[in-house]
Amino acid sequence: MENANIKSSTDRGILNLRLDTLMEKYPYLLDFFNALEINPFPIQNTLAMLIESLPMDHLVQFGLNHKSLSAQILEFIAKMEQCRDKIHGSMDHLVIEGGFDKNGCPETMGITLFPGEVVSVVGPTGSGKSQLLSDIECLAQGDTPSGRKVLPDGKTLDAPSRFSGEFRLVAQLSQNMNFVMDLTVEAFLQMHAESRLIDKIPEKITQVYQSAVMLAGEPFSLNTAITSLSGGQSRALMIADVAYLSASPVVLIDEIENAGIDRIKAVSLLLNKEKIVLIATHDPLLALSCDRRIVIKNGGIADVIKTLAAEKKSAACLADLDRKLGLLRERVRKGKRLIFDQNYFFDHS
Amino acid sequence: MNQVLKKADPSIRLVTVAGPPSSGKTSLILHTATVLLEQGVRIGIIKFDCLTGDDHKRYERAGLPVKKGLAGGLCPDHFFIANIEACVQWGINQGFDLLISESAGLCNRCSPHIKGVLAVCVIDHLSGVHTPRKIGPMLKNADLVILTKGDIVSQAEREVFSFRVRQANAKAAVLPVNGLTGQGSLLAAGHFKTAPAIDSLNGRRLRFTMPAALCSYCLGETKIGPDSQIGNVKTMDFT
């Protein structure tokens, strides 16, 4: 009861704010008003006066009346402020408690993941990699086919938070994803940054753009339409965008080996952002860039392999091979011939 | 949310699912129903359509009892509201725990949502970031908004899309569901199970008025011209 009173007095406060103060305090309202073709003017008027001044004919087009518009604005502000608060919270670790494999046998083990850690998920097609990723996405509470429990900071998320969809733990990247918006790179990043309610938007845009170009290898401009980016450029922009602009503390990556981007740099970019990165991959180089590998068999976690120092050593050799292959790829791209010495690949001198 | 409450009186939980054509309503319902069937919930489906469709066959194949309602020449939402009470009684007689009604929002103006009945709106990510602003009452008055086809667009676009949905409807729960794999349907099922139980819709109210359909064209007129348009007619302003 007390809460309800406080809420309504906050609401009254908002309704009595002058428009200039209001827009400064809640900048996302500009976009909200744009959507309803409302011009927040004159600025010395209060929000209540603005709502009052709108003709009924105008509101009817949007299925609104004065009362429901006022309610909608207040709800929107409340929700956005709530989201803003949540963004500042962070996660210390993520516990995955073991469930059952496809035969109903208990899983060998669970796993605890930490921010700044990259872990690969390996196993043949159909072994249950997607189920693991899906369990993490919906914060499974023993209620998915695997029976696993996914616990941020080791605690069960309360049902309302889980069912409201407000707490999006996971950002996903996969080979099948495409850009569908008809926007330039700059306008796209602007739109995403605005929806995240962050400050210093121009700097963020520059950061994302520069990282994306670095990952892609092939330069593109801020004025390029996102739909006309090449496969590699799109993937690079998606990864840079997730690193800098996504709120989700966990990133799931599905097969980026063929994307034509610098995958080691891509992974380290995400790690620098203190995210937990899970990669479903069978690429040896990528697997060795991970600290641990989760082995999935018959729907269950069969093993968690720690990458050995000896394996890390072979990573250097693999990286060299990969670089050489990259040079050959560049030759193909430029229309050159591929005649080269066989020792080229194996000679370390 | 994991327990289905047993009901003593003849009542049924009703969920109205609406969304633009091809947004994934049937797929969402099928995946959600699969989860609920495994938990022992008895489910009936009502499929509202304008012209003949094959969606009811998908329900039949999944073993779900389905009744099909074809609006034909009538406004599909008017048809819906004139028939939904009979559907509820059918569901109660059949002994279902849960009745799911699926209807297409063809003009983005309508919303079949009823006060005190769980209202679900389905939109797909491919429809573009401006869609949440265009859909109107069907989205604004929903309790649960399901976003489909997120597996083929970028993370950023998904985030912008759900932001825009919250802009239009800050109260609703917003959940992504993959219509192909069913990923996300578990949480949707959690909502479906908590739909309020009702014994009749008589006396209840729509959340939003339906379009006024009172001109000569509603009655079958096909000829164009001022002499033929009689009744509740609105004209565009070109001044």
pLDDT tens-place string over residues A230-270: 888 998 999 999 988 888 889 888 876 666 677 778 888 88
CATH number, domain with residue B198: 3.40.50.300
Write the residue in A75, A165, A188 that is nearest to B171 by C-beta.
Answer: A75
ipTM score of the complex? 0.80
Q: Where in chain A is the domain with CATH 3.40.50.300?
A: 94-328
8 Å CB contact of A192 and B156: yes
Alpha-carbon gap, residue B210 to A63, rounded angstroms:
11
To the nearest whole angstrom, how far is the Cα of A21 from the nearest Cα of chain B?
20
Most confident range, picked from A161-165, B44-48, B209-213, B227-231 = B44-48
Q: Are strands B197-198 and B12-19 parallel, antiparallel or unpaired?
A: antiparallel
Report residue A1's pLDDT band, with 50, 70 and 90 as the boundaries.
Answer: very low
A204, A285, A307 from A314: Cα distances, Å: 36, 9, 11
Q: Touching check for B39 and chain A: CB below 8 Å?
A: no
Residues on chain A touching B181 (C-beta within 8 angstroms): 130, 134
> Which tokens belong to B57?
């066959």
Residue in the structure block whose two tokens are 């087009």:
A61
> Which tokens belong to A141?
């509470």
Alpha-carbon gap, residue A29 to A58, rounded angstroms:
18
Residue A341 has pLDDT above 80, yes or no: no
Answer whether the bond into residue A42 is a cis peptide, omega within 30°: yes
Q: What angle do CA B156, A204, A88 make, to 5 degrees?
A: 75
What was the pLDDT predicted at A174? 83
Write the residue in B154, B164, B168 that is nearest to A238 by C-beta.
Answer: B154
Mean pLDDT, to the nearest integer, of A337-347?
75
Q: Touching check for B175 and chain A: CB below 8 Å?
A: yes
Residues on chain B touching A179 (C-beta within 8 angstroms): 153-154, 157
Residues on chain B touching A191 (C-beta within 8 angstroms): 129, 160
Write the residue in B155, B163, B170 that is nearest to A75 by C-beta.
Answer: B170
8 Å CB contact of B167 and A162: no
Q: How many domains does chain B have?
A: 1
Domain that holds residue B158: 12-219
What was the pLDDT predicted at A196? 84
A130, A284, B78 from A259: Cα distances, Å: 20, 15, 50
> Which tokens belong to A315?
């990573």
What was the pLDDT predicted at B9? 67
8 Å CB contact of B157 and A179: yes
What was the pLDDT predicted at A89? 53
Bridge partners, B147 (sequence order) = B123, B176
Q: What residues have CB less than 8 Å from B173, skipping those under 6 apart? A: A163, A164, A165, B143, B144, B145, B191
Minimum Cα–Cα distance from A246: chain B residue: B156
Q: Are strands A276-280 and A250-254 parallel, antiparallel or unpaired?
A: parallel
8 Å CB contact of B183 and A178: no
A149 φ/ψ angles, rounded to the nearest 5 degrees: -120, 130
Write the residue in B153, B155, B162 that is nearest to A246 by C-beta.
Answer: B155
> Which tokens belong to A210?
């520069």
Q: Percent of chain A scored above 90 by pLDDT?
A: 28
Alpha-carbon gap, residue B12 to B6, rounded angstroms:
11
A279, B117, B170 from A32: Cα distances, Å: 37, 28, 12
Write the residue in B159, B173, B190 that is nearest to A195 by C-beta.
Answer: B159
pLDDT tens-place string over residues A83-103: 776 654 578 899 999 999 999
pLDDT tens-place string over residues A159-206: 887 888 777 788 888 888 889 888 999 999 999 998 888 888 899 999
- More confident: A275 or B64: B64
> How does DSSP classify residue B206?
B
Alpha-carbon gap, residue B151 to B134, rounded angstroms:
23
Alpha-carbon gap, residue B16 to B19, rounded angstroms:
10
Closest C-alpha to B192, from B97, B58, B89: B97
Mean pLDDT, to the nearest integer, of B143-171?
91
Q: What angle do CA A92, A253, A156 make, to 5 degrees?
A: 35
What was the pLDDT predicted at A86? 63
Closest C-alpha to A222, from A16, A233, A344: A233
> How does DSSP classify residue B196?
P
Report residue A3's pLDDT band, with 50, 70 and 90 as the boundaries.
Answer: very low
- Residue B198 three-state SS: strand
- More confident: A339 or B103: B103
Radius of gyration of chain B (CA): 19
Minimum Cα–Cα distance from B187: chain A residue: A163
8 Å CB contact of A72 and B159: no
Round the average pLDDT of chain B to a whole number and report it. Answer: 87
Residues on chain A touching B136 (C-beta within 8 angstroms): 62-63
A47, B213, B238 from B235: Cα distances, Å: 32, 15, 9
**Fold of the domain built from segment(s) A94-328:** Rossmann fold (3.40.50)
Residue B92 has pLDDT above 90, yes or no: yes
8 Å CB contact of A247 and B159: yes
8 Å CB contact of A241 and B156: yes
Alpha helices in chain B (DSSP H): 25-38, 55-61, 76-94, 131-135, 137-140, 155-168, 185-193
CA dihedral A137, A140, A143, A148 (to 10 degrees): 120
Residue B204 in domain? yes
Residue B227 in domain? no
pLDDT tens-place string over residues A270-321: 887 788 999 888 888 888 888 899 999 999 999 999 999 888 888 888 888 8
Identify each DSSP E strand in A191-264 by its residue range. 250-254
